[in-house]
Amino acid sequence: AQSVTQPDIHITVSEGASLELRCNYSYGATPYLFWYVQSPGQGLQLLLKYFSGDTLVQGIKGFEAEFKRSQSSFNLRKPSVHWSDAAEYFCAVAYSRGAGNKLTFGGGTRVLVKP
Amino acid sequence: KAGVTQTPRYLIKTRGQQVTLSCSPISGHRSVSWYQQTPGQGLQFLFEYFSETQRNKGNFPGRFSGRQFSNSRSEMNVSTLELGDSALYLCASSLTQGGIYEQYFGPGTRLTVT
């Protein structure tokens, strides 16, 4: 069965520092990959997606992610974190084109930003 | 365009009761998916509806059901509520025509079962 792993449950970063969140997936076929962010009490907001093509994708709010097939990874990065980036981040994967839009999510990484 | 809307936002029910949650997708989106979010299990896929048909189903008991109307609005129903059904229920809509498209999520309905 497909699975998504986010190894870091919590990450604390200083404002202005860089941020990298890890995501690994397990499946043989090329996945469709997403990063979502959830602020407290809110739904999920799509940050970026990878379907094919350039393995480095740009998203909203200054985030980017890199797809590495050899490592089955899709890590999220931001060069300089703002206090408003404190939230929970979820990596998600969909596999079956034509079989619907089922997303499998990782467990999430909670980001705390220190002033 | 208006985003995905979910009603009600908060709900308190008693064990054994049933509940119906509503989701209105983004205009033009025909796919609606439902997810359950709990601290213990995280985000789990419940089901997806496309053109009034259930296209995909997660691993939940039959107490969880849903439907989609001709205007793409969707409802999910949980019968015989259990304490473990307390969760944030998220609805997501998508443009999908059979492929995989990004999903846009609503703010969720917070269900508390006492």
CA–CA separation, A104 and B73 (whole Å): 23
The answer for B 6-25 residues in CB contact with A (under 8 A) is none
A110 touches chain B (CB under 8 A): no
Q: Which residues, at least 6 apart from B101, have a Cβ–Cβ distance to it below 8 Å? A: A101, B31, B94, B95
- C-alpha separations of B12 from B60, B74, B81, B95 in Å: 21, 21, 11, 32
SS3 A53: coil
Query: A56, A66, A62, A65: which is closest to A85 by C-alpha?
Result: A62
B30 touches chain A (CB under 8 A): no
In angstroms, what separates the C-alpha of A70 from chain B's closest C-alpha? Answer: 23
Q: What percent of chain A has pLDDT over 70?
A: 93
> What is the pairing mode between strands B10-13 and B109-113?
parallel
The rounded Cα A42 to chain-centroid distance in angstroms is: 17
| Other CB atoms within 10 A of residue B104 CB | 20
In angstroms, what separates the C-alpha of A13 from chain B's closest C-alpha? Answer: 23
SS3 A60: helix
In angstroms, what separates the C-alpha of A35 from chain B's closest C-alpha? Answer: 10
Question: What digits encode the pLDDT tens for the residues A61-87?
Answer: 999 999 999 999 999 999 999 999 999
Question: What digits encode the pLDDT tens for the residues A91-100?
Answer: 999 876 555 6
Q: Is the pLDDT of residue A11 over 90?
A: yes
pLDDT at A54: 87
Q: Which residues pair with A57 in a beta bridge?
A: A65
Q: Is the pLDDT of residue B85 over 60?
A: yes
pLDDT at B56: 85
Give residue B13's identity as a one-letter amino acid code.
K
Q: Which residues, at least 6 apart from A24, have a Cβ–Cβ distance to it below 8 Å? A: A4, A5, A7, A71, A72, A73, A74
